[in-house]
A and B are shown apart, each in its own frame.
Chain A
Amino acid sequence: RKEVEQDPGPFNVPEGATVAFNCTYSNSASQSFFWYRQDCRKEPKLLMSVYSSGNEDGRFTAQLNRASQYISLLIRDSKLSDSATYLCVVRVSGGYNKLIFGAGTRLAVHP
């Protein structure tokens, strides 16, 4: 079983739609959580950190459920420019280096 699992998609949605991605992690010692965005053939870039209380940044909302060990990302009012792959990233305690990446969920927003 992968340490961080994501539905690979693709999620094909029309502009204006609301779309949600889930990510599950297996290590209960995970302490920090992030969503990164990766455009085709480009480097990943931080989209947002995920806090225990949940957090929002414009059209993007991230939630954390420690009991069930999953993280979610909600995108409202999808734009064409949101088309990308979204990577779930988990930092596991006990090592400075241990950032575990999910394989990513691909989103395609169409007109």
Chain B
Amino acid sequence: EAQVTQNPRYLITVTGKKLTVTCSQNMNHEYMSWYRQDPGLGLRQIYYSMNVEVTDKGDVPEGYKVSRKEKRNFPLILESPSPNQTSLYFCASSEIWASGANVLTFGAGSRLTVL
């Protein structure tokens, strides 16, 4: 089954404790992206990647890091989480068309709480 898999799905952590949210897709998609979703704000892009070793900042990259060492994986790293990073996080992937990233396939989401 074609899918994007995120882990963990739920996490409660404390300020400053480094954590990684993993994301893996089995569709051989070039494009991968991380979003956070907060009430009333919609999905906001954190980082995206056009291919292996190619990553770039989205609209809200502060406090986050990513890497793309393999095509299928795109982990999101919070080096020193803070309470304002409490949010629902989605990883997504898509093919790249000439017009850009196309229809996104999303992971099931990771709900992160930072105390």
A contacts, CB < 8 Å to B: 4, 8, 31-32, 34, 41-46, 49, 87, 91, 95-99, 101-104
Contact A97 B101 (CB under 8 A): yes
B74 within 8 A of A: no
> Please, how many angstroms separate the alpha-carbon atoms of A109 and B101 in the complex?
33
Query: A97: which of B33, B44, B90 is its contact (CB, 8 Å)?
Result: B33
Query: B99: which of A32, A45, A46, A103 is its contact (CB, 8 Å)?
Result: A32
Could you write out 24 A-B pairs with CB less than 8 Å apart?
Answer: A4-B42, A32-B100, A42-B109, A43-B107, A44-B43, A44-B104, A45-B106, A49-B103, A87-B43, A91-B99, A91-B101, A96-B31, A97-B31, A97-B50, A97-B56, A97-B100, A98-B100, A99-B45, A99-B104, A101-B35, A101-B43, A102-B42, A103-B40, A104-B42
Number of B positions contacting A (CB below 8 A): 24
A86 to chain B, nearest CB (A): 12
Query: A43: which of B48, B90, B101, B103 is its contact (CB, 8 Å)?
Result: B90
B:52-72 near A, CB below 8 Å: 56, 58
Contact B108 A42 (CB under 8 A): yes
B41 within 8 A of A: yes
Contact B104 A96 (CB under 8 A): no
B96 within 8 A of A: yes
> Please, how many angstroms separate the alpha-carbon atoms of A30 and B70 in the complex?
31
A84 to chain B, nearest CB (A): 14
B79 to chain A, nearest CB (A): 23
Contact B100 A95 (CB under 8 A): yes
Task: Give chain B residues whose Cβ lies under 8 Å from the Cβ of A32.
Answer: 99-100
Contact B108 A103 (CB under 8 A): no
The verdict on A46 contacting B103 (CB below 8 Å), with A4-B42, A99-B45, A101-B42 known, is yes
Contact B99 A43 (CB under 8 A): no
Task: Give chain A residues whose Cβ lies under 8 Å from the Cβ of B109.
Answer: 41-43
Cβ-closest chain A residue relative to B48:
A97
> Please, how many angstroms separate the alpha-carbon atoms of A52 and B52 in the complex?
34
